[in-house]
Amino acid sequence: MNIMRVYFDNNATTRLDDRALEEMITFYREKFGNPNSAHGMGIEANLHLEKAREKIAKILGVSPSEIFFTSCATEAINWIHKAVAEVFEKRKRTIITTPIEHKAVLETLKYLSLRGFRVKYIPVDSRGVVKLEELERMIDEDTFLVSVMAANNEVGTIQPIEEVVKIVKKKNKEILVHVDAVQVIGKIPFSLERLNVDYASFSAHKFHGPKGVGIAFIKKGAPIRPFVHGGGQERGLRSGTQNVPGIVGAAKAMELAVENLESTMKHMERLRRKLAEGLRKLGAHIITPLDVSLPNTLSVSFSNLRGSTLQNLLSSHGIFVSTSSACTSKDENLSHVLTAMGIDRRIAQGAIRISLCRYNTEEEVNYFLEKTGEILSFLGINENNRR
């Protein structure tokens, strides 16, 4: 049996770009000095660390002094939210976010709510787009932080961040704004230069960089406090020896991700369009709002087939996708994103997420559609009961 290996789970993680890996190897084998050491090898490592910081800052349109390295985006998110809450805890207690944020944000804010902070959730429409009029209504004198993701990891919906920032700053310019930008690099144009946000978080392994490297943007003058204490690295705000090989690889991967962005976007969009058309013919319900979403992301559902079942059967054919729900019989265990969007329970239970990258091919799409059709036929899900 001829099994092709097809990886369609790029919103979860991506393969490391070979060119980024090549740069990293040198820093494991030869230039492995601690960047905080005063001798020659340490100075050399620090030089490359700062060059990587400058490269990332230039791509994002900010100052190198506003870029900090962490172990992952989850750490960056925890650091920013908890530190800002600590700064404001004796003056203000309200944070505003959305119900479709990544768990890194939602669980951090849940932790803060248990410590007396009030968390408000901006509702989203059926496409997953935040309701701006509700945001404006929710902001009050007690609000000190608004946190909204740039694009959703499950369905791909792109949020109107510029409008969000304008509303927040017009209401009260002292309110701080954080954007979870983990899913955007290498998928759509993104620059912090045109956004008046105070904080942002990124993760290298989402744009063909290495795992273990997160990036925190902290605008000059924005309040922050140390989250990890120790030797005073990262200008005294994030202690711990920096992962120089990973950071160098992250900078190279980001550079490559934006290098041919327009052609990459067109490539992914073409593959996604073919997937959507093919899956519709097989009776799928398209959840992702194709007009306001990342070009690589497609959430679909077969309402009479659990997403976990389809995921496992596809995996047996060498095709790897993720589910958008816990696929259990309990409503509370459905995807929090699909629930917030008001997606019907049966559709939510059947959801799978297909997320593409620049390396995916039309041949892989054809194989996926062929095997999905075979699975549906094997299960006896015909044209009538698929709808």
Enumerate residues 6+ apart whose C-beta is below 8 A from 11: 153, 154, 156, 183, 206, 296, 297, 322, 353, 355
72 is catalytic: no
Residue 64: what are its φ and ψ, rounded to 5°? -55, -30
Q: In angstroms, rounded to a whole number, what is the distance separating the alpha carbons of residues 174 and 139?
A: 12
Percent helix, strand and coil across the chain, each to the nearest 5: 45, 15, 40
| Residue 84 · residue 223 · CB < 8 Å | yes
Find the Cα–Cα–Cα–Cα dihedral 80, 86, 92, 94, rounded to 10°: 50
**Structure tokens of 340?**
């917030």
Contact status, residue 242 vs residue 233, Cβ threshold 8 Å: yes
Of 56, 106, 327, 375, the catalytic one is: 327
Q: How far apart are CA 349 and CA 327, in angstroms?
A: 5
In the numeric block, the tokens 């959507």 are attached to: 276
Cα separation, 222 vs 65, whole angstroms: 12
Residues marked as catalytic: 327
